[in-house]
Structure 1
Amino acid sequence: MITCTVTYQLDPAKLDAFETYAKVWIHLVNKLGGAHHGYWLPHEGANDVAWAKFSFPSLAAYEDYRLRMADDAECQRAYAHAAKTGCIIRYDRTFSRPVLEGATPDELGL
């Protein structure tokens, strides 16, 4: 599994527009075969940073999503909303792999 974390810098005056955008992308990522883990919006502290996390079974599955997303009319509407409202100033993507199974301390070998 590969998990994408998107870090957004937002216009703090346009958080409502970004929240609408976020809710649409939860639907779209799930529709296109991913598992969206949600968005984390500013609450206390910095008022212009948000995060999203979503996963795909593999990097190849993510790349296929990116190709299909480019041709999907609903995805293009979401991008147009962000452009029209100016809610997103910039964003970065980081990819990671989750560790989801625990181990006993005996496995430390100490």
Structure 2
Amino acid sequence: MITCVVEYVIDPAKIEAFERFGRRWMALVERHGGTHHGYFLPSEGASDKAIALFSFASLAAYEQYRALFGVDPDFVAADRIRDESGCVLRYDRTFMRPMLPDRGETPG
């Protein structure tokens, strides 16, 4: 499994637009074989940071999903929310592999 971590710098005055953008992308990831773990939005402290986490079974599966960017009308419409609203000032994407807790084993 590969997990994509997207760190956003957002315009806090446009949080509603960012939420519309995020809801669209959550649905697209799920529809195209990924698992979206959600967007994490500002609550307290720094008000211009947001994070998204989603996973695909493999990098190859992620690349199939990425091939739809700029081509599939639903992907274009989701990006249009970001572009027209200006809710995202910049973002960085990192790929990580999860290390999950062992279930049922005691440490030691």
- Shorter-chain TM-score above 0.5: yes
> Where do 1:1-110 residues align within 5 Å?
1-102=1-102, 103-106=105-108
Q: Which one has a bigger Cα radius of gyration?
A: 1
Q: Which runs of 5+ in 2 are unaligned?
A: none
Distance 2:93 2:107 in 1: 33
SS in structure 2 at match of 1:25: helix
Output the TM-score relative to the length of structure 1.
Answer: 0.91
**Runs of 4+ with deviation above 3 angstroms:** none
What is the root-mean-square deviation in Å for CA atoms of aligned residues?
A: 1.1
State percent identity of aligned pairs: 53
The alignment of Structure 1 onto Structure 2 pairs a total of residues equal to 106
The alpha-carbon deviation at position 101 of structure 1 amounts to 4.4
Distance 2:71 2:39 in 1: 24
SS in structure 1 at match of 2:37: strand
Q: Which runs of 5+ in 1 are unaligned?
A: none
Moved more, 69-78 or 38-47: 69-78
Distance 2:36 2:70 in 1: 18
The alpha-carbon deviation at position 10 of structure 1 amounts to 0.3
Output the TM-score relative to the length of structure 2.
Answer: 0.92
